[in-house]
Structure 1
Amino acid sequence: MPTLGQNQYGKAECRVVRITRNGATHRIKDLNVSVSLSGAMDEVHYSGANATVLPTDTTKNTVYAFAKEHGIDSAEQFGIHLARHFVASQEPIHRARVRIEEYAWERIATCEGEPAPHSFVRKGQETRLAQVTYDGSAWEVVSGLADLVVLNSTDSEFRGYVKDKYTTLPEAYDRVLATEVTARWRLNWTDDAQPAPDWDASYARARADLLQAFAETYSLSLQQTLYRMGSRIIERQDDIDEVRLSLPNKHHFLVDLEPFGLKNDNEVYVAADRPYGLIEATVLRDGCEARIPVDLTNL
C-alpha cells in the first residue's frame, strides 16, 4: 500500500520591492521570497480536502503585507517574521521555510560625486562588451555593456498618451522607472596611424555618462530618458559617433493592500518580469551614419 512521504507547498519567487522614503533620500530593498510550508497535510493529498490548507495566494499576500507592516531591515529578519507568522498562526503548519534572494543596489553618483538621493544601480550585474572588426586597413570598434539594471524610485511620469477602447493603463504622475540597459557605442578610431583610445577609461566614462543621465533626467517617458542617456555620451566624448540603446521597461506595480486594511503610499511594489515594454533607439553624432545593427542580439 503506498504511503505519503515528505511534502510541502507554498509560493515561490514573490518579488517584493520595498522603498523607504525619508524625505528626498530613499532606501530600497529588493527581495525574491519563496515560502514553503509543511505539517498536517496528509488528508489533502489523500482525499483533496482543503480544510488544513492555507492558500498559496494568501502566502504571497502575506509577503507584501509584511513588507508594509514590518518593513525590511534585512533578508534574515524579514524571513524570521514570515516563518514565525505562518507556524504560529496556522495550527496545521508545523514548519515554514523561507528562502530569500536579495538584489543589492547602490546609489548612483552625480557629476559632483555626491550620491543621488533616489537613483540606484544594481550591484554586480553588468557585463562589459566589445566587438572589433578589421578588414586589413581599417578598424571598427564597438564597445558596450549589458545587464546594467538601474532604477529611479521617483521623478518619473507617464501620461498624455493615446487611448483607445482597449486602453486600461492609468496615467502615472509618480512612478518607479527601472530598466536593464543594453548599450553599444561605436568609436571613431579606425586607423593605426591614429593614437588608440584608452579603452578602459573610455568605457568608464561612457558607463558613468549613461548612469548620470539616467539619474538626472526627470522622465516623462522611457524614450526621453533613452535619448538623454545616448546624448550625454555623444556630447561628452568626441571619439564616439554612435550609441545604440535597448531599454526594457522593468515594470513595478503598486500592490493593492486595501483588502488587508493597509494603505500603500508608494511603498510596496510587485516587480513584474514579463510582458514588458521594450524601447530601442540610436543616438548619432550630427552628420554620422548608423552602423550598429538595430537587433543588438545579432551584433
Structure 2
Amino acid sequence: MEYVIVDKEYGKAGVKLLFASKVGKKHSIKELEVETSLTLASEKDYKYGDNSDIIATDSQKNTVYVLAKQFGVESLEKFGIILANHFITKYPWVLRARVALSQTPWKRIQDPEGVEHNHAFFNSPSSTRIAEVIMDRTRVPKVRSGIRGLTVIKTTQSAFVNFVSDEYRTLPDAEDRIFSTIVTADWSYANISNCFGYSWISLYCTVESTIIDVFAGPAYNGVYSPSVQNTQYEAQKSIMKKIPQISSVKISMPNRHYFPVDFTRFNIPEVQGEGAGQVLMPVDKPSGMITSNLARSALTSKL
C-alpha cells in the first residue's frame, strides 16, 4: 500500500522577544511572539529518520533573535518578511517558510499634561496585532495582517428586527439594543511589489480605526446598525476602499449579549419604571457568531 505525505512543516513556536531601541532620548519597544515553520523539499526525515536537511527548531529560534538584533523590528510584517526571506535564501532545500507573529500592546506613559514619557510604557490590551508571512521559492511573500480582541460596545443605534418567526423563535424584536462585540479581523495584501516600502503600522492603524469608525459613527449622532452582519460588511467594504493593496478582509464578530434584568419580579416601587437607568446582565455563552470574508471581484482586481 502506498502512502503520501500530503502536507508537512515544522518549526519553533512561542519565541518571545522584547526589542528595545535606545537611539536618542526617546526610546521605543516592541514585544513579540514569533512562530517559524519550514517546509523542506525532502521527506527523508519523516520516512527514513535522516535529519541531514533539518534546520533545528532551536536554530530557527536563534535566527529570530539574531535577525532582530541585526535589522531591528520596525513592524510585524517587515520583520516577518525578513525572516521568511532569510530561510528561503540561505537554505536552497526549503520550499516554503511561514512566519506568524503577534505583538504585545505597550503604550507610552503620559504625564497629566499629555506629554509622552521618553522611556516608560504601560500595557494596554485594547487589541492585539498579528501578522503572517508565507514565502516560497518565487520570493513573492503572501502577507496577512490581523487584529485580535478588539472589544467595542455602544448603548443605542442598534436593532435586530424582522427575522424569521416560526415555532422555534422566542427572541423578540429589538428596536433599540446594546451592541457589543469582540472583533477578530484578518486581511490579505495583493500585488506587493515593494514590501519594504510599505508603512505597515500606518496600514494597520487605518484598518483598526476604520472598524471602530464604522461601528461607532459620528461622535454626537452615531450610526444605525440593523444587524451585526450589516456593520461587518460596511467595515470590510470601507477598509478595501481606503487601502487598495488589500485583496480581502475576513471578520468574525460574536454578539456579546446584555439582557435586561426583569424588575417586575421585585415588589419595590422605586425600581419600577425608568429608575436611574438600565440594569443589564452580561451573558457570555451561548452567543451568536457572525463571520464573513469580503474579497474584491475579478473585475475590481483588474482595475
Indicate the TM-score class for this superposition, using the shorter chain for normalisation. 0.5 to 0.7
Deviation at 1:163, TM superposition (A): 1.0
Question: Is residue 2:131 matched to residue 1:151?
Answer: no
Q: Match of 1:233, SS? A: helix
Q: Match of 1:278, SS? A: strand
Q: Deviations over 1:142-163 (max 9, x none)?
A: 0011111011110011110111
User: How large is the RMSD of aligned CA atoms in angstroms?
Assistant: 2.1
Contact 1:257–1:264 (8 Å) recurs in 2: no
Matches within 5 A, 1:278-293: 278-287=289-298
Q: Match of 1:235, SS? A: helix
Match of 2:164 among 162, 165, 169: 162
Matches within 5 A, 1:251-266: 251-260=257-266, 261=268, 262-263=271-272, 265=274
Q: Match of 1:203, SS? A: helix
Alpha-carbon spacing, 1:251–1:224, altered in 2? closer, same or farther (3 Å)? same
Q: Deviations over 1:228-257 (max 9, x none)?
A: 111110111111111000000001111112
Matches within 5 A, 1:84-163: 124-137=125-138, 138-163=140-165
State the alpha-carbon separation in 1 of the partners of residues 208 and 229 from structure 2. 19
Alignment: residue pair count: 167
Contact 1:178–1:249 (8 Å) recurs in 2: yes
Deviation at 1:259, TM superposition (A): 2.3
Q: Deviations over 1:124-158 (max 9, x none)?
A: 23111101111132111100111110111100111
The residue number in structure 2 matching 1:59 is none
Deviation at 1:179, TM superposition (A): 0.5
Q: Match of 1:234, SS? A: helix
Question: Is residue 2:283 matched to residue 1:277?
Answer: no
Match of 1:228 among 226, 234, 242: 234
User: What stretches of structure 2 of length at least 5 have no aligned partner?
Assistant: 1-123, 218-222
User: What stretches of structure 1 of length at least 5 have no aligned partner?
Assistant: 1-122, 291-299
Contact 2:192–2:245 (8 Å) recurs in 1: no
Q: Deviations over 1:191-222 (max 9, x none)?
A: 45x66311111101110011101112411111
State the alpha-carbon separation in 2 of the partners of residues 259 and 141 from structure 1. 55
State the alpha-carbon separation in 2 of the partners of residues 244 and 288 from structure 1. 20
Contact 1:255–1:264 (8 Å) recurs in 2: no
The residue number in structure 1 matching 2:175 is 173
After superposing on structure 2, the runs of 4+ consecutive aligned residues of structure 1 that deviate more than 6 Å are none
Alpha-carbon spacing, 1:278–1:269, altered in 2? closer, same or farther (3 Å)? same
Question: Is residue 2:269 matched to residue 1:268?
Answer: no
Alpha-carbon spacing, 1:178–1:221, altered in 2? closer, same or farther (3 Å)? same
State the alpha-carbon separation in 2 of the partners of residues 195 and 264 from structure 1. 60
The residue number in structure 2 matching 1:214 is 215
State the alpha-carbon separation in 1 of the partners of residues 141 and 169 from structure 2. 48
Q: Match of 2:284, SS? A: coil
Contact 1:141–1:189 (8 Å) recurs in 2: no
Identity score, percent: 32
State the alpha-carbon separation in 1 of the partners of residues 157 and 297 from structure 2. 30
Matches within 5 A, 1:40-119: none
State the alpha-carbon separation in 1 of the partners of residues 129 and 181 from structure 2. 17
State the alpha-carbon separation in 2 of the partners of residues 170 and 133 from structure 1. 46
Deviation at 1:283, TM superposition (A): 1.4
State the alpha-carbon separation in 1 of the partners of residues 281 and 273 from structure 2. 12
Q: Match of 2:280, SS? A: strand
Alpha-carbon spacing, 1:288–1:208, altered in 2? closer, same or farther (3 Å)? farther
